[in-house]
Amino acid sequence: NCGIYFPEIKRDPGRYLHSCPESVKKWLRQLKNAGKILLLITSSHSDYCRLLCEYILGNDFTDLFDVVITNALKPGFFSHLPSQRPFRMLENDEEQEALPSLDKPGWYSQGNAVHLYELLKKMTGKPEPKVVYFGDSMHSDIFPARHYSNWETVLILEELRGDEGARSQRPEESEPLEKKGKYEGPKAKPLNTSSKKWGSFFIDSVWGLENTEDSLVYTWSCKRISTYSTIAIPSIEAIAELPLDYKFTRFSSSNSKTAGYYPNPPLVLTSDETLISK
């Protein structure tokens, strides 16, 4: 209840938040009904997480998730040892004593990926359960989850939304409608992925020497996407209505750097000009 931001969000959350599309809530329920274990891991504190999720997903949002972890302090959640970052119980949103391990599903604070993975082994009965982690931050989500925990990672990359308007004007073949996710509600304003100040998010132009042409190269950010993401999508809505057994083409060292973008790679990466990896 301090400052300007939190009291204002509490007073009028609808002014600042979008409700989750029904397709995404249905997708979460389908995953759970299919026997998947659903996790919510956020660096927000528990009271703020509850405020947002109750508005976005509904008052019963905790029914969608087997484990909720708040104040996760990412990326340290993945990189720190259990002794450095133990899980803690919560009582009226106040953190309690440190836990030596996780014994059951529930709502916890802080913690580490090692103890969480041990809990997932118990819950699944598998020695090496597969984890797919969705996140929108390369720094806090995607890189640490892949690098330290070797989880599959799905990068939610808002820059992919910038091509939607341009693609709708291009007559090109696409997948059958039943295989494509659809977007609900008002479209977000497309992002301009080619900043007048910084250039493209995905490629850059390197000046050539005298009497030589400039070269196009992948940006540092673009190379990180293909290195640490399994796939990259513009939003959860883009995949929410796909069959749960839909097979995505993943990024890999043997594929091109555009293979893992769904539903399409950025337009700037599909041009005929040759790109150089540097």
**What pLDDT shows up at residue 217?**
87
Task: Answer whether residue 87 is part of any domain.
Answer: yes
**CATH classification at residue 104:** 3.40.50.1000
Distance CA 182, CA 180 (A): 6
Q: Higher confidence at residue 209 or residue 246?
A: 246
Task: Answer whether residue 227 is part of any domain.
Answer: yes
pLDDT, tens digit, 9 for 90 and up, residues 20-71: 999 999 999 999 999 999 999 999 999 999 999 999 999 999 999 999 999 9
Distance CA 273, CA 277 (A): 13
Quick one: 69 and 173 in the same domain? no
Task: Answer whether residue 166 is part of any domain.
Answer: yes
Residue 233's DSSP bridge partners are 156
**What pLDDT shows up at residue 170?**
47
- 41 is in which domain, residue-wise? 4-130
Distance CA 267, CA 138 (A): 21
pLDDT, tens digit, 9 for 90 and up, residues 115-167: 999 999 999 999 999 999 999 999 999 999 999 999 999 999 999 987 655 55
Token duo for residue 80: 């720190």
Distance CA 219, CA 15 (A): 36
Average pLDDT over the chain reads 87
**What pLDDT shows up at residue 151?**
98
* Tokens 């989880």 -> residue: 151
Distance CA 47, CA 53 (A): 10
Instruction: Give me the number of domains the chain comprises.
Output: 2
Q: Higher confidence at residue 273 or residue 117?
A: 117
